[in-house]
Amino acid sequence: MKKLLLALLMMAATAAAHADSFVKGADIGWLQQMEATGYQFRNKQGGEQDLLQILKDHGINTVRLRTWVNPSDDKASGHNSKDETVAMAVRAQKMGMRVMINFHYSDSWADPQQQRKPAAWAKHDFPQLLNDVYLHTHDVMSALKAAGVTPEWVQVGNETRTGMMYPEGHTDNWPQLAQLFNQGYDAVKAVSPTSKVILHLDRGNDNAWFRTWFDNATANGARYDVIGLSYYPYWLDGRPDYTLSIDDLANNLNDMVARYGKQVMVVEVGGEDSKPQNTYEMLMAVQRKVRAVPGGLGLGVIYWEPQGARSWSHYELSAWGEDGRPTKAMDAFLDSL
C-alpha cells in the first residue's frame, strides 16, 4: 500500500512539474512598433495596460522574439534588430517570462516563400556565409548574455521547409544547409550552452514531409535539440477546420519523438480573429495534443502575434479584437490543464 501511495505521489509530482514547465507562449515581434505608433492595449475590463501584463494574466509564460540582421524601419516588415530584440527580452524577463529567440538570417521575413540572404551578405561565397551565420548568431547571443538574459530556446532559421539563405542553403543542397545550421548551433552553444536549439518547419500536420526533412537533417549531421512546428489550419489547402487536421498534428508530434528522440514544440499557431470561439477550441485541442506526447517531451504551444490586431496589422489570425482587448481565444491558455 505504501509503495502504491509513493508511486502515485511521484506521478502527481511529475505531472505537476510538467504543468509548471509547459510553455504557453506568444510571439510578440510587432509589439515595439505597435507601441511606437500609439496602439493602446486594453485588458478584459477595458483598462489600458502593458501588453505583457495582459498576456501574463492570460497564462502566457514565454515570449518568442524574431531577430533580423539589418532590418528597415517599416511598420509591419521592419524592426526586430539586435538592440530591439535585447530590449524586448530584458523587458519580458523582468515580467518573469521565459525567452525564445528566432533567428531568421534575413533582413525581413523568412519562410518557405522567401528565404533571402541579408543584403550585406548577398555577394559572399559559401565559406563567408558560414562565417556570417556564426558571427551574427554569436553577436546577438552575446548581447543577450551581457544584458543578463539566457534564452531557453533559440531557433536557427524560421520555417526552413525548403532551407534558408537561398540559393546556397536550399534543401537542394543538404550538405551545405546542414553546415549553415551547425554554424548557428555552435554559436548558440558557445555563448549559452544551456539554450536548446530548435529547427522549425511549417505544416506541422504533414508527417511525410517532416520525416523526409529530418531524415535528411540526420543523414547530413545537422545538430539540434528540439523540433519546432507551425500549425495554422487556416492556411491548409481546403482544410481550414482544425478538426480535420488536429489528429495528424498529434500523430506527427508523437512520431517525431519516437523517430528522432527529440523534444517537440508548436512554436507557431493561430486562428481566425473573427471566430474567437473556434480559435479557443483549436488552442485547447492543440495544447491537449502537445501535453499528451509521451514522456513529457511535448514542451508547449506559442501563438504567433496574438496581439497583432487586424486594425493595425491587417493580419487576420490574431487573438485581439477591434476594441483593443484580447478575444475569447486567449482564455485557452488559462483554461487548459
Neighbours of 128 (CB within 10 A): 11
Distance CA 47, CA 49 (A): 6
β-pair type (196-201, 263-269): unpaired
Catalytic residue among 159, 168, 281, 305: 159
Are 282 and 306 in contact by the 8 Å Cβ rule? The answer is no
Distance from C-alpha of 337 to C-alpha of 327, rounded to nearest angstrom: 20
* Burial category of 194 from C-beta neighbours within 10 Å (exposed 0-12, middle 13-18, buried 19 and up): exposed
CA–CA distance, 70 with 50 (Å, rounded to integer): 28
Q: Which amino acid is at 278?
A: N
Instruction: Tell me if residue 272 is catalytic.
Output: no
Catalytic residue list contains 35: no
Of these residues, 84, 268, 281, 305, which one is catalytic?
268
Catalytic residues: 159, 268
